[in-house]
Amino acid sequence: MSNKKITVRTRVLATCGLLTVFGVWSIATAGAADAVSVINGPIALGTSSTYGTLAGSALTNTGPTTVDGDIGVDPGSAVTGFTGAPNGSFTGAENVANAAALQAKNDLTTAYNDAAGLTPTTSGLAELTGLSLTPGVYAGGALALSDNGTLTLAGTSASSVWVFQAASSLTIGSATHIIITGGASACNVFWQVGSSANLGTSAAFQGTILAAQSITASTGATVAGRLLAGTGDVTLQSNVITVPTGCAAGARPSTSPAITSGVPTRATTGVPYTFRVTATGVPTPTFTVTSGALPAGLSLNAATGVITGTPTTKGAPTFTVTASNGIGSPASASFTLETVPLLALTGVDPGPALSLGGTLLGLGALLLVIRRLRIPATRTRH
């Protein structure tokens, strides 16, 4: 008698153990392609677009600098040398460590990150003197335009856009010139600088500098654009800064998809199920099952990536979901979604029993099954 009962109890406990351990299986492996970020118009500057100069710690000027636009500092509060002729002057507003300055700095951070995240059309640039560059994204370490040098930006229309990515510094030499042709303008020229930028004496500069740290403009340098610094100072000396007017509204870059979903939750036959496959990307990607198949009874919403339905069959099928939005390469991820059955004899939903906290409930249900089966006791042999 005891042997048979022990055998039955051992099987019950072993079964509960298997259900508890294996009932939580679900794995996902991502196979996303390298992300691509492309220009979707000029860089969106937000409220920082009205600033001729915006600094992080301090804005310092010497001499009769004129800024045709706003000036500002945040989080610092030091502004010197802008008391009007014969010192510096500006035509717009002065915002120092206030709500407007904070918003402009936040918008600058967004613009900087958007510019830095673009996928270059040309990489490995260093010296810019003598180059004639069509619209695109140009990347290098330390970018420079040597003294007396000329850089030509050969546009095709007013919507032509150039973005320069300097991983470290930008050095514009003395008496240099940036020439824009083809109906294009300084509105759509952006210089993203990983550290600091320097404009040499009497340089004729065009475009908006988005510097992570500081910007210095030497005596007589002119800027058709903006000098926007992140954490450091902007230092000016007898300069002319003119914010471009009539510029087209900026836009956030378009980016290829990247699937960000975690492991799918376990499903139970006969119980409604929901799991969302998530992905980043601009424009918003759509979803398709490109290999394998979802568990029977489930379907994928192409627009939202939500898997819903009521599974009908136990199992653990593997399938691949692909997200695409027409930018770069689609992103794919493989998922294994396990479906476990209900305990049909008792009518008990095993979902809670299959979790660690529901193990005792599952054991009780199985013991109830044994009692209903009325397993006879082992007779003693004579």
Tokens representing 77 are: 């509060």
pLDDT tens, 251-303? 889 999 999 999 999 999 999 999 999 999 999 999 999 999 999 999 999 99
Contact predicate 164/151, CB 8 Å: no
The two beta strands, 162-166 and 26-31, are: unpaired
| The pair of three-digit structure tokens given for residue 211, joined into one six-digit string | 């510097």
Q: What pLDDT does 86 receive?
A: 92
Q: What's the CA dihedral at 122, 146, 108, 243 to 10 degrees?
A: -110
Which pLDDT score is estimated for 116? 96
pLDDT digits (tens, 9 = 90+) for 195-215: 999 999 999 999 999 999 999
Burial environment of residue 380 by CB neighbours within 10 A (0 to 12, 13 to 18, 19 or more) = exposed
- The whole-number pLDDT of residue 3 equals 37
Q: Is there a contact between 40 and 119 (Cβ–Cβ < 8 Å)?
A: no
pLDDT value at position 314? 94
Mean pLDDT of 26-45: 68
Q: Beta strands 132-133 and 215-217: pairing type? A: unpaired
Range from 139-153, 212-226, 314-328, 341-355 carrying the lowest mean pLDDT: 341-355
Sequence-separated (6 or more) residues with CB below 8 Å from residue 245: none
Q: Calculate what percentage of the chain has a pLDDT beyond 90.
A: 78
d(CA 62, CA 94): 17
% of residues, the chain, pLDDT over 70: 81
In this structure, are residues 284 and 323 in contact, taking their beta carbons and an 8 Å threshold? no
At 39, which amino acid appears? I
**For 226-238, what is the mean pLDDT?**
98
Looking at residue 364, its pLDDT comes to: 59
Q: In this predicted model, what pLDDT tens digit does every residue of 164-186 receive, in sequence order?
A: 999 999 999 999 999 999 999 99
3-class DSSP state of 44? coil
User: What is the residue-averaged pLDDT of the chain?
Assistant: 86
Indicate the domain borders of the chain. Answer: 22-36+253-341, 46-242, 346-382
pTM more than 0.85: no
- The SS3 call for residue 213 is coil
Task: Encode pLDDT of 335-380 as tens digits.
Answer: 999 999 986 434 554 444 444 444 455 555 556 645 665 545 444 4
Q: What is the pLDDT of residue 16?
A: 32
The token duo for 115 is: 């510019």
* Per CATH, domain 22-36+253-341 is 1.20.1260.10: no
What is the predicted pLDDT for the residue at 17? 32
pLDDT tens by residue, 55-91 = 999 999 999 999 999 999 999 999 999 999 899 999 9
Q: What's the pLDDT score for residue 368?
A: 60
Contact 331, 319 (CB under 8 A): no
Dmax (CA) for the chain in angstroms is 122
pLDDT over 60 (residue 8):
no
- Which comes out higher in pLDDT, residue 101 or 348? 101
